[in-house]
Amino acid sequence: GYDPSKPWVGECNDPVSQENARKVRMAMSMAIDRQSIVDNILGGFGRPSYLPEVLPPLLDTVWQDRWFIPYDLDAARKLLVEAGYPDGFDALIRITTGSHPLEVEMGQAVAQFLGALGGDVRTEVLTYSGNRPSVVARERSDLWFRSSSAGTAEPPELTQLRRNPENAFNPGLEVREPLAIIRRMDSITSRDEIDKIREQLYDGFSHNQWIIPVVLADQILGINTDRILEWKMTTGSGYLGDFENIRFK
């Protein structure tokens, strides 16, 4: 349920509380140096992420420059002052393991970046299955750092809508505005029309930071170099693909 001690969560029926929580989430997002994580933890094998769970090639097709989130501590601190947290805030980040071998390192880096805003930011490492029950039961509203795979072939916004709101977690998508947009998308057959509505959805995610995206990590793959000369893959896709780019010896 609603926990007023968490500044990134607003009270549903209080527009001022909702806006202050949005500013806190945006401040957190602007405090993360995504490129540094790509360079220093992923060794360059990835790219910064500014839209949650939107992967190439869709990402590169629909991208708009207005969705870019700068790394700007001064602007982030200004937002916290406006939201009523001039000295920062305490937080616990739950880091779940399983999807990427560098999950813990990335989550701890995010904690350090958020700690620069003030307050005590701690981390707790546990398995995905260990964390999920409390999320489904709505018992915890701590920050959660996790990664996910490429998922299904259908657009991720539709996949998330179909998660049962009573017996699953669907991050941020119990908010009425994106749900209304997604329901419209489900009945559209025109490519032009769905592109326009998708922009509205992504504008909402960018403005509100319901889910704070961090990086798109390249897939880790071992190949037989005795047989394969080269295999160029889409950066940050997170899935096994681009088979047409394989060059055999």
Locate the domains of the chain by residue range: 15-248
Instruction: Give me the pLDDT at residue 172, please.
Output: 47
Using one digit for the tens of pLDDT, what is the confidence trace for 84-132? Answer: 999 999 999 999 997 788 999 999 999 999 999 999 999 999 998 898 8
Question: Can you read off the two tokens belonging to residue 214?
Answer: 């961090």
pLDDT value at 208 more than 80: yes
Q: What is the mean pLDDT of the segment spanning 11-18? A: 92
> Which CATH number describes the domain made up of 15-248?
3.10.105.10
Rounded Cα gap, residues 23 and 17, in angstroms: 10
Using one digit for the tens of pLDDT, what is the confidence trace for 33-68? Answer: 999 999 999 999 899 999 987 888 788 888 999 999
Contact by Cβ (8 Å): 161, 155: no
Instruction: Give me the pLDDT at residue 234, please.
Output: 66
Using one digit for the tens of pLDDT, what is the confidence trace for 67-81? Answer: 999 999 999 999 999
**Radius of gyration of the chain measured on its C-alpha atoms:** 19
Q: Taking the mean position of all CA atoms in its chain, how far away is CA 16?
A: 24
Strand partners, 95: 125, 145
